[in-house]
Structure 1
Amino acid sequence: MSAPVSQFGRLSRYYLWYTVCFIAFVLSLALLEREGMPRVWLGYLYMFATIVLYAAIGVISRTSNVTEYYVAGRRVPALFNGMATAADWISAASFISLAGGLYLHGFDGLAYIMGWTGGYCLVALLIAPYLRKFAQYTIPDFLAARYGGGAGGRGGPVRVMAVGATIIVSFTYVVAQIYAVGLIASRFTGVDFSVGIFLGLASILVCSFLGGMRAITWTQVAQYIIILVAFLLPAMWLSLKHADNPVPQVAYGTVMPKLAAREAELERDPREREVRAIFAQRAEYYHALATSLPASWENGRQDVQRRLDAVRLRNAALGEIRAAERALIAWPKNAEEAARSWNAARAANLARARPPQPHATPFPGADRASSDIRRNNFLALVFCLMLGTAALPHILMRSYTTASVHDTRVSVFWTLFFILLIYLSIPALAVLIKYDLYSALVGTKFTQLPTWISYWANVDKTNPLISIADINADGIVQLAEIAIDGDMLVLATPEIGGLPYVISGLVAAGGLAAALSTADGLLLAISNALSHDFYYKVIDPGASTQKRVTISKLLLAVAFIAAYAASQKPADILSLVGAAFSLAASTLFPALALGVFWKRANHAGALAGMAAGFCVCLYYMLHTNPILGGSAAGQWFHIAPMSAGVFGVPAGVLVLIVVSLLTPAPDARLGSLIDHLRAPE
């Protein structure tokens, strides 16, 4: 039965008033900025107000009821469940990094939009309605009941393996969200990056700890409203600025030819070619060092030591001595470290020596073979993101929160609608930002650089988010002299477009909402998997409901482990997210999809398939990702590590089918369960 009209109307009034108050708050901050309030205080107000808001919703929605805590009482109206799921889905990767990825990679970046959007269509068609009809709490619940086995029919081994997969996938994904929280907090409050990460955990833990899925649902509806306003406002401003049209999707087609003409102009610019030639020379220098190891490392270390001794002997200035000491400390500790460092430096310089990649050209490459490699990686990434989406535990849990199977289907429609409001604007925003930088920043004198560059350069002094150096010493900014991190572009969009700082704070609040909304869902998925699926279902089936909820709350301390991992800056946001999706697709998708659509799939097959998919995917990542100790030389068919699921999924499906056919078929009870799941509503 659908949610009562009175409940829907009441919620509509609440969130309408919330939206009005939020707009009034932004206008108030705009007036304060106009009256001279310092920027840092505006940042503090945005951070404080949003965190207090989310914490307040958590306090109001606090509960110890199991059904309310795990699935929000199964009474969330379809439209609001769609908004909450969209907020859960629009993570830091979507809000912060996706437009930046399109800026850096052009057409290739569309793989994320196609994969994630297509993946949610798979959720709607293949998974969500069947999970809701099952009417349990978690994904391990479904897999354990579908495949049986274990003491008391609780599906012990399958459940434990599903719990492990849920934790690994969700943990990898949540690290990326917390990394984004640290990035936003450090930029807009001035605190250290690591401190910003732990500050951002406050609202995550309050919402999750007090109210579980109930609190997270109503918080995510509020967060979606902030996300929508924060993303569309600067996009509409840039659209109006460059195309005299406030609709980004329409401006997209107008600005694209202008961008293509500017790209061609920069490719022919002799000063650009001069800078690229300098980077090519630097790449050759590092290549020469790497190929003459270990002699080059030993000789270089001796030269650095002699320079330090020389400045000390002649009593040079303290600054000169410190510089020589830093040079010695920075010198690689051994030949192996030197090889890694110099090869990385060579690759970085080679990348900057290449001419600008045409934004609208699919799979550009020096020859047909390199173009084919890019095309194959594009298709592999789309594949992994689609199937990973259809197996993400924190998204699939949303299928349990509506009042009926029909409401679940309607909720999926609303989710797609609310996601597309953002996703259809992202490619347009990437083109608008790119055209603005190519036409306004490139060609500027170094003495007249805009102030936003120094702001963002100082967010992370170890690995600057943007750096501009006068490589050819002509005093003019060339495109090749700009090194920019895609993770900062959306957050810097208001400053790039010349909007007031209050809009920068609004965008930061939107990015924070996107990161926190997804982190909330992920942490709840982890704690529920440990408390409900592992502790209650495997260890202590007699645990009271109060004890189960309390343990779930205590296990949210895993957030601090994720925060520590994020503070180590393991990779960029999109790479972490890609790894999470490949792991989810390889481990969970075969068991979920075949569990619904193939009655012959059994307990042994599910165990073997999940193990095979996970192991193949993890092996490929470890074997080919330099950050994890692998080498790109070990890639199969030149597929990038983040798309490891393209090998893991077929392995999981094949092993599940073969083992199921070689072992006894499921019993009649499981057959009737499958018939019930697939029966018409």
Structure 2
Amino acid sequence: MNGPVHDQPHLRHRLVPALHWHRHLGPGGSTSEFYAAGRGVHPIVNGAATAADWMSAASFISMAGLIAFVGYGNSTYLMGWTGGYVLLALLLAPYLRKFGRYTVPDFIGDRFYSRTARLVAVAALLIMSVTYVIGQMTGAGVAFSRFLEVDNTTGLMIASAVVFIYAVLGGMKGITYTQLAQYCVLIVAYTIPAVFISLQLTGNPLPQLGLFSTHTESGLPLLAKLDQVLMELGFQDYTGHHGSTLNMVLFTLSLMIGTAGLPHVIIRFFTVPKVSDARKSAGWALVFIALLYTVAPAVGAMARLNIITTIYPEGTTELPIAYDERPDWMHNWEQTGLLRFEDLNQDGRIQYYNAANEEFAAVAAERGWAGNEIVTFNQDILVLANPEIAQLPPWVIGLIAAGGLAAALSTAAGLLLAISSAISHDLIKSTFRPNISEKGELLAARVSMAVAIVVATYLGMNPPGFAAQVVALAFGLAASSLFPAIMMGIFSKKMNSAGAVVGMLVGLGATVLYIFTYLGWFFIPGTNMLPNTPDNWLFGISPLSFGAVGALLNFVAAYITLALTKPAPERVQELVESIRVPRGAAGAVEH
């Protein structure tokens, strides 16, 4: 166990607030540029870059697809991610910026005066970030494969090459201004098609209002029309809640606190000049995020309705379209392998219905249907295919492709920077080779980022689920490991290194074990110890929802350990107090 700070000279100099930066990382140095863009990013620019960094392929490409095919039940993605960002902006970002470090493990290692705590934080960061980046590379591969008309693997390789060029060579400054441009692209790309489709279906140009408007063709409210056509095909109604309420609550909470513990988002708040700028950039980021997140439910609902009316142009009680007469968007996506049909009853038509619905089985048999003939429909394609489904102009289709790529690549770059800085700064510089030169540290950062790209590309070729599902696992890992340590580091001045280390190990270990049990080694199906079904889950808790339970175990283990050991040294408690002093109060320092 690590002893008091006065017994550890190698840690004593670390326990100082932000105004005492290490000289080798001081303003203007190349490592400062690489890690934190020299702490000179304007709050509005940082807000847009943060929004792009956070609104990943999961938000742009996958979230609307998950909402489209599940409905109300998957609104948890919206609630959890948005609520989590509010939590991050209000509770964590200003204090972390005031502490003045460059990475999350840097904060944890210094606050808990422990190399062990730093190493555990690095391990948690790497596990979470690698899992997260798989979802981004998967989304980028989907976009490139369709719009360059190549297979999914080739699309993934192209995405990797693009990220390598501007992330490895540019560092944080290059990533920041690239993400600013990417935000502009992704928000325009997401909004314009939604406006067109909302006008087509409801006559209302605002998708947020169109979702609750009247469906022009039927005269019914849009959501009522969607419920009707889904239930006529044996699916559950779109607006009902059909899952476990416990899982819905835990999953939302897991996404919320996971968001607040995301290292690649937190490090964005280290790039602004002052603490007050961290608050401002958080506010701007919320505005920029809301512009997309308020549109996503409309995109999902309208896309699902368009798919059904494409297959059943005369109504769901009539014959579906002939396979030979399928629209171009279906033919185009079939080439990627992400959409596939199988004519089960050899009638040359495309039957699309819920074959698992026993009540609808009699209707299907009466119509001569032998099963749902859309045997592959990757939900990640929905947003990208949406303009084609609605038969919008080619330039709109190209725009949505650019937005999807911007979303995936911007977050991938942020994650890769978090990975590289954890390895070069927290492992090499701060732990194993404290005398490494600035040039050597920078080289290590770039090499580690390049290796991370290779690993993410390899794993992205066989992802464990849709982009948003993979990302949800990463959020659970962040929720169970980093978030509690950061919260206790800021708001519990007596929390010591032993408590933080034990808490992180228990939270992360329990979550990884639970995920491994039901999803397999690195979430590969077939390597799991128990079947991934609700009947086998512990208390019915899904692996995607377990992050909230892991966080609770983290807190409990940390405080039990604190009760059995000595609290943090007085000097550390004074440091924590200084972080929490409001601006303008006696003794407050604005960094």
The alignment's TM-score, normalised by the length of structure 2, stands at 0.84
Q: Match for residue 581 of structure 1?
A: 475
User: Alignment identity in percent?
Assistant: 38
* Cα deviations by residue, 1:346-382 (Å, 9 ceiling, x for unpaired): xxxxxxxxx2121111x22xxxxxx5xx222111110
Report what 2:178 is aligned to: 219
Q: Give the letter for the 1:603 counterpart.
A: S
Distance in 2 of aligned mates of 1:262 and 1:141: 50
Q: Give deviations 1:124-181, integer Å, cap 9, x for gaps.
A: 1211000100111111111111111xxxxxx210111111111111100001111111
Q: CA offsets, 1:447-482, max 9 Å, x none?
A: 42212112112202xxx4343646484846444434
1:264 is displaced (CA, Å) by 2.8
Measured in 2, the distance between the counterparts of 1:590 and 1:441 equals 48
The reply on whether 1:77 has 2:47 as its aligned counterpart is no
2:90 is aligned, of 108, 125, 133, to 125
Select between 445-454 and 158-167 the one with higher mean Cα deviation: 445-454
Cα distance in 2 for partners of 1:646, 1:136 equals 27
Out of 504, 515, 526, the residue aligned to residue 408 of structure 2 is 515
* Residues 226-249 of structure 1: per-residue CA shift (max 9 Å, x gap): 001110011000001011111101
**2:230·2:237 contact (CA, 8 Å) conserved in 1?**
no
CA distance, structure 2, for counterparts of residue 132 and residue 439 of structure 1? 51
Q: Which amino acid aligns with 1:528?
A: S
Cα distance, 1:547–1:475 mapped onto 2, change above 3 Å: closer
| Residues 330 and 339, structure 2, Cα contact 8 Å, conserved in 1 | no
Q: Which amino acid aligns with 1:665?
A: P
CA distance in 2, matches of 1:612, 1:647: 11
Partner AA of 2:476 in structure 1: S
SS in 2 for 1:665: coil
Contact preservation (8 Å) 1:130, 1:596 = yes
Distance in 2 between the 1:407 and 1:467 partners? 53
User: 2:557: which partner in 1?
Assistant: 655
Report matched runs for 1:338-487 at 5 Å.
355-361=234-240, 363-364=241-242, 371=243, 374-443=244-313, 444-446=320-322, 447-460=324-337, 464-467=338-341, 469=343, 471=345, 473=347, 475=349, 477-480=351-354, 481=372, 482-483=374-375, 484-487=377-380
Q: What letter corresponds to residue 466 of structure 2 in structure 1?
A: D
TM-score by length of 1: 0.74
Amino acid at match of 1:677: I
1:506 to 399, 407, 424: 399
Deviations 1:18-76 (A, max 9, x none): xxxxxxxxxxxxxxxxxxxxxxxxxxxxxxxxxxxxxxxxxxxxx97111111011111
Map of 2:225 onto structure 1: 261
- The residue type paired with residue 672 of structure 1 is E
Q: Indicate which of 622, 629, 637 corresponds to 2:516.
A: 622
Give the Cα–Cα distance (whole angstroms) in 2 for the partners of residues 500 and 535 of structure 1: 52
Correspondence for 1:98: 63
Rounded Cα–Cα distance in structure 2 between residues aligned with 1:625 and 1:501: 40
Q: Tell me, yes or no, if the aligned pair for 2:211 and 2:223 is still in contact at 8 Å.
A: no
Q: Is the 8 A contact 1:64 1:546 kept in 2?
A: no
Does 1:88 pair with 2:53?
yes
Unaligned runs of 5+ in 1: 1-62, 149-154, 273-354, 365-370
Residue in structure 2 matched with residue 334 of structure 1 by the alignment: none
Check if 1:229 corresponds to 2:188.
Answer: yes
SS of the residue 1:116 aligns to? helix
Which residue of the partner structure matches residue 668 of structure 1? 570
Amino acid at match of 1:399: F
User: Is contact 2:202–2:222 with CA below 8 Å preserved after alignment?
Assistant: no
- Asked whether the equivalents of residues 438 and 479 of structure 1 are also in contact (C-alpha less than 8 Å), the reply is no
Q: In the superposition, relative to structure 1, how do residues 473 and 79 fare at CA in structure 2: closer, same or farther (>3 Å)?
A: same
DSSP 3-state at the match of 2:341: strand
Question: What is the rounded CA distance, in whole Å, between the counterparts of 1:118 and 1:579 in structure 2?
Answer: 17
- Report whether the alignment pairs 1:559 with 2:453: yes
Query: What is the Cα deviation at residue 431 of structure 1?
Result: 1.3
Question: Which letter maps to 2:79?
Answer: M
- 1:510-564 superposed Cα distances (whole Å, 9 cap, x missing partner): 1011000000000000010000000000011111212111110111122101101
Deviations 1:576-625 (A, max 9, x none): 11110000000111111011111121000000000000111011111223
CA distance in 1, matches of 2:169, 2:398: 28
Amino acid of the residue matched to residue 38 of structure 2? Answer: G
Distance 1:67 1:474, change over 3 A: closer
Which residue does 2:507 correspond to in 1? 613
Q: Which amino acid aligns with 1:574?
A: A
Deviation at 1:206, TM superposition (A): 1.6
Query: Distance between the aligned counterparts of 2:34 and 2:226, measured in 1?
Result: 54
Maintained 8 Å contact 2:269/2:278: yes
Q: Secondary structure at the match of 1:588?
A: helix
Q: Which digits, 9 at most, give the CA deviation of each residue in 1:77-112, with x for residues without a partner?
A: 110000000000110000000000001110011100
- Do 1:106 and 1:357's aligned partners in 2 also have CA atoms closer than 8 Å? no
Structure with bigger helix share is 1
* Residue pair 1:64, 1:211 contacting (<8 A) in 2 also: no
User: Against the structure 1 CA distance between its residues 546 and 64, is the aligned structure 2 distance closer, same or farther, given a 3 Å change threshold?
Assistant: farther
Equivalence for 2:20: none
Q: Cα offset for 1:222?
A: 0.5
**What secondary structure is seen at the aligned counterpart in 2 of 1:191?**
coil
Moved more, 610-619 or 63-72: 63-72
* Greater Cα offset, 393-402 or 616-625: 616-625
- Which runs of 5 or more structure 2 residues have no equivalent in the other structure? 1-27, 314-319, 355-371, 584-591
1:359 partner amino acid: Y
Contact 2:379 2:466 in 1 (8 A): no
CA change 1:670–1:500 in 2 (3 A) is same
Distance 2:434 2:90 in 1: 34
Give the corresponding residue for 1:152.
Answer: none
* Shift in CA distance, 266/67, structure 1 to aligned 2, threshold 3 Å: closer
* Structure 2 SS opposite 1:397: helix
Distance 1:103 1:455 in 2: 21
Q: Summarize the Cα distance change of 1:146–1:189 in structure 2 as closer, same or farther, 3 Å threshold.
A: same
Asked if structure 2 preserves the Cα contact closer than 8 Å seen for 1:466 and 1:485, the reply is no
Is this contact kept in 1: 2:42–2:272, CA < 8 A?
Answer: yes
Residue 638 (structure 1) aligned to one of 515, 525, 540: 540
Question: Do the aligned partners of 2:151 and 2:335 also contact (CA within 8 Å) in 1?
Answer: no
> Partners of 1:267 and 1:605 in 2: how far apart?
52
User: Structure 2 CA distance, aligned partners of 1:564 and 1:70?
Assistant: 26
Q: Following the alignment from structure 1 to structure 2, what is the Cα–Cα distance between the partners of residues 171 and 165?
A: 10
